[in-house]
Structure 1
Amino acid sequence: MRKLLIAVSLIGAHLLLASCGGGGGGGTTSTPSTGGGTTVTGWVSGVFQAASSFKSKCETVRTGVDIEGNRFTDTAGTATDEKNWLRSWTRETYLWNTEVADTDPALGGTRTAYFATLRTTAKTSSGKDKDNFHFSQSTEEYLKARNSTASASYGLKLVAYSTTVPRDYRIVYTEPGSPSAGIVPRGARIMKVNDVSLVSDGTQAGVNVLNAGLFPASAGTVTKFEFLLVDGTTKTVNLTSANVSPKAVNTTSVITRGSSKVGYILFNTFSPYASETEIVTAMRDMQTAGVSDLVLDLRYNGGGLLAVASELSYMIAGNTRTTGRTFEKLQFNAAAGTRNPVTGEANNPVPFYTTALGFSLTAGTTLPTLNLSRVYILATDSTCSASEAVINGLRGVGVEVVLIGSKTCGKPYGFYPQDNCGETFYTIQFQGVNDVGFGDYADGFVPLNTTETTGVKLPGCQAADDLSRDLGNSSERLLSTALSYRDTLSCPVVATSEIQKVTLAVQSSSASATGASGIELAPLNHIMDVNRDMTLPGRM
């Protein structure tokens, strides 16, 4: 069963229990509106005006500045103007722009509903959607997330084995320094929230209690939780919500193996600007400790800032392997030619950045390097996008990537988040390829000893996520498998024989993904949990 990750500590992401129930030239004919916007009065299939002619013409005009100090450029327009911008923007920048059905923006429906139609419906060789990363969210929430703005939460990160009755939500880690840190153990299953069963309650009244408890509106909210622990005992605690900023680097350690030192870093996201400082600090500590090997734990890392992924890859590989080499080359739609259709600039490759870029560390700061020829990466199907770019970018310059865990999500694609009228849209605009021109991993990377028939196979071992032990514990299954492979260059028997048993044990109490109740907990990942972001410091 594919696991759906959600973060209770996600900034601005409300995970609600819901009841069931190409460029310029030509275009649509239009006339100016009284507010200075453009009112579309006609539509011709396949004929497009430049997206710039509709940009920032808004049904609701914002005034003032955003949280980063950028002044809004909105002018008065209409809902159809906003949808016409989406139509033209998609035509100009979407990677698979010729695979999008062209429909009349004036036919009704919201801008987000229209945006949902502006994507390809093609499938990969494994049968999954080629584009299952098509999202939008309010620009205010996006800016809060990328700036690590604190929000009310308990600091819990969950994995959902069943989102419908009987629901099964378990803690995979807690945020350092958060209300749940040191109190709620890894692997604990949420049974009740304020005495209402998260597992089985199907009433609207119960749904309301669960929402209010799980997703507090403000700091200081006291919520009673009942957990079932991995040893079979129960634990009831009252947690008081606080304003929590998620940590990109959650845990680090240095493990002694004989006369050698192995570094371990649990790196959970590239997305907030703070991730630059946190990963550079962790790598500097590894360098100071004199580690000769690195286990990089990306099992829950769905992506974020591609530039930070480049910085991390440089710090692993070092100067000799990366000088004059490309971390990632961007391939846009065929109409783009040699230019980037988003920025209008020449399509220059993303280098291996050797100094900090200024997201949260002083620009120009020299980055530490480990100069490794091999790295061990712990992965699951939640390892996505910018995390996969690290795997692919390192392989492109000859660093051996040993993959421990399971198949990654399969997203060699990325985007430039684009605000228009208060909504930020994420439309896939490029495929990333490494220094040797490879980027065809839409069905993910997978350990060599798997029985999977799709995906790019890498050296390494299949192993199940181990909720019974803390992350960073050398006995935890993924980490212990990586250490064993390092010592023997072969997969331990337990890494394969235990997979089915562990999976069944974890899922045994969630027999169905579709419960009898018509009310379900619908997870909503933050956009940066599953994507690459091309944002650079100082750019919207």
Structure 2
Amino acid sequence: MSSISKFAIAGLVAFSVLAVSCKQNDPDPQNSTTTPTTSTTTADIRDSLWAYMQDVYLWYDKLPTTFNPHNYSDPESEMDALRAYQPLDQWSFVEKASDFNSYFSDGETSDFGFWIKFDANNDLRVRYVYAQSPAGKAGVERGWKVTSINGQAIASMSDDAIVSAFYDVSSTTFGFQKSDGTAVSIPLTTATYTLNTVLYTNTYDIAGKKVGYLVFNSFTGTPSQNELKAALTKFETAGISELIVDLRYNGGGDVDTQTMLANALAPTSVTRSSVMFSYQHNKKLSDWDETIKFSKTGSLNLSRIFFITTSSSASASELLINNLKPYLDVKLIGSATHGKPVGMYGFEVMDYVIAPIAFKTVNAKNVGDYYDGLAVDAAVSDGLSKNWGDPLENCLSTALNYIQTGSFTTTAAGRLSAEQEVKNKPFDLKTVRDLVVKSPALK
């Protein structure tokens, strides 16, 4: 017998995060009036996967009429084959329930705790660090340059060798160049820790206005909601009138967390009849369609909000932006988002979670289908050489400058060309599994 986990997934390609959504209806073929074309009580998970895809999958009509699950050695390869029938689908997945649930139960993960990316100068930089991780406790900071791994210079290593040093071993010695130019060698051993989803907060006084800045990295449910509430309380106490929300690496996550944050950021003009977004399923399951309304919380009453995004901003991150657009002056800075206007449910079957794309979302103006991502108002490169909160960091400085001058003007170094974005996208040092665990998107 299978059971539906109370969430929905919204993930990204470079980075994804499991998104969670509590639905009023029970989206489980065994509990609905819809009869699966293949029994989901079979002892073979491959048959169950095929059954769910035939009934729940948003694009079930794209699937072949004849399909033999037993032609595939495992459910993962079967899902790959089924997903190929809809080129838009980059996200449907199946994985061991133990791996899936460990991340969302308590926000725990096990690794070195910092993530890296090549910048436009081909320097390998620390993108972000989790505070309670081995790297965080060792003092590693965003913006540091990774110069060596186990004594070998980065310039002499292949991408595969670098990835292996991060994902395939439990102990590695990293050489860093700090922001002040000094060098340090730090040995790290992987460990289990609770990640912090709010990476940084600050306030700035700009042109007589109090500006809040929030770096939010993952929608992971209760843990991230508690962190967000603390940050929002800080901003309310400070009396901010402008807010910059940095989602540049946020691949999505728990949809309830998105709803909580949207309610806090919405202007006081929204009412309980104001539409936040709607779920739309396939025609078999149209009775599962649902419209979510706003329920304003907190004292923030913004008329404008800035979002910093990249191609790693996906799923619940995009949902948040799209949901606020009908009610606020929304400005996007950085590069276009990933493009995932759809979400999944996670069905626990035996020892697996089956997560097919099951619905799309649209905002109050019926806008969705942003498969090419949400476009930015100012194309600005990621300031990887700067730590969080540095007012000279490319994206943050662009937002602060707009607040002060009313226009987007950036330096030549800060402008982002299409060529740079293409160069930066492929090497994010995240595996497909990390995409799911760190940023899928049960939306």
**Which TM-score bucket, shorter chain as reference?**
0.7 to 0.9
Instruction: Describe the superposition over 1:165-214 as per-residue Cα deviations: whole angstroms up to 9, x where unpaired.
Output: xx9753101112433236323233434332355654569xx96x974765
Structure 2: give runs of 5+ residues left out of the alignment. Answer: 1-11, 19-26
Amino acid at match of 1:486: I
1:465 is aligned, of 358, 382, 405, to: 382
Change (3 A) 1:469 1:161: closer
- Cα 1:417–1:369 change in 2 (3 A) is farther
Is 1:146 aligned to 2:104, yes or no? yes
1:532 aligns with 2:441: yes
1:371 partner letter:
N
Is contact 2:109-2:192 (8 Å) kept? Answer: yes
Superposed, 1:326-475 pairs within 5 Å as: 326-337=275-286, 339-340=287-288, 347-354=289-296, 367-396=297-326, 398-447=327-376, 460-475=377-392
CA contact (8 A) 1:407 1:445 kept: yes
**Aligned residue identity for 2:395:** L
- The answer to whether the Cα contact below 8 Å between 1:133 and 1:530 also exists between their aligned partners in 2 is no
Contact 2:267 2:328 in 1 (8 A): no
For residues 345-396 of structure 1, what are the alpha-carbon distances to aligned partners after superposition, in whole Å with 9 as ceiling and x for unaligned?
xx32123355xxxxxxxxxxxx424121211000111111100111111113
Paired positions, count: 416
Question: 1:188 and 2:97 equivalent?
Answer: no
TM-superposed CA distance for 1:490, in Å, is: 1.3
The residue type equivalent to 1:351 in the other structure is K
Q: Return the offset for 1:249.
A: 0.6
Q: Residue 325 of structure 2: SS of its match in structure 1?
A: helix
Paired letter, 1:94? Y
Could you tell me whether the CA contact under 8 Å between 2:112 and 2:166 is conserved in 1? no
Does 2:272 align with 1:323? yes
Determine which structure has greater relative contact order: mean sequence separation of CA pairs < 8 Å that are 6+ residues apart, divided by chain length: 2
Using the aligned pairs only, state the percent identity: 26
Cα distance in structure 1, aligned partners of 2:329 and 2:418 = 30
Q: Does 1:487 align with 2:417?
A: no
1:260 is matched with 209
Output one character per residue of 1:215-274: Cα deviation in whole Å (capped at 9) or x when no partner. Answer: 555xxx5x3112355677643222344432111111000111132100000000002431
Aligned pair partner of 1:159 in 111, 117, 124: 117
2:23 paired residue number: none
Structure 2 counterpart of 1:100, from 63, 77, 98: 63
Matched residues in 1 for 2:315 and 2:430: separation?
25
Q: For 1:426 and 1:496, locate their aligned partners in 2 and report how far apart those are by CA, in whole Å.
A: 41
Write the distance in 1 (CA, Å) between the matches of 2:108 and 2:90: 28
Q: Would you say 1:119 and 2:83 are equivalent positions?
A: yes
Larger radius of gyration: 1
| TM-score, normalising length: structure 2 | 0.82
Task: Name the residue aligned to 1:311.
Answer: 260
Superposed CA RMSD in Å reads 3.6
Q: Which is richer in helix? A: 2
Corresponding position of 1:281: 230
Contact 2:381 2:414 (C-alpha < 8 Å) held by counterparts:
no
What residue number does 2:5 align with?
A: none
Q: TM-score, normalised by structure 1?
A: 0.69
1:87 paired residue number:
50
- Partners of 2:369 and 2:257 lie apart in 1 by 22
SS in 1 for 2:357: coil
Q: Which 5+ residue runs of structure 1 have no aligned equivalent?
A: 12-21, 26-47, 58-76, 123-128, 341-346, 355-366, 448-459, 514-519, 535-540
Matched residues in 2 for 1:6 and 1:422: separation?
Answer: 25
Q: 2: distance between equivalents of 1:51 and 1:288?
A: 56
Amino acid at match of 2:391: S
Relative to 1, partners in 2 of residues 1:49 and 1:198: Cα closer, same or farther, differing over 3 Å?
farther
Q: How far apart are the structure 2 equivalents of 1:430 and 1:152?
A: 31
> Which letter does structure 2 place at the counterpart of 1:190?
V
Q: Secondary structure at the match of 2:279?
A: strand
Preserved CA contact (<8 Å) 2:344 2:441? yes
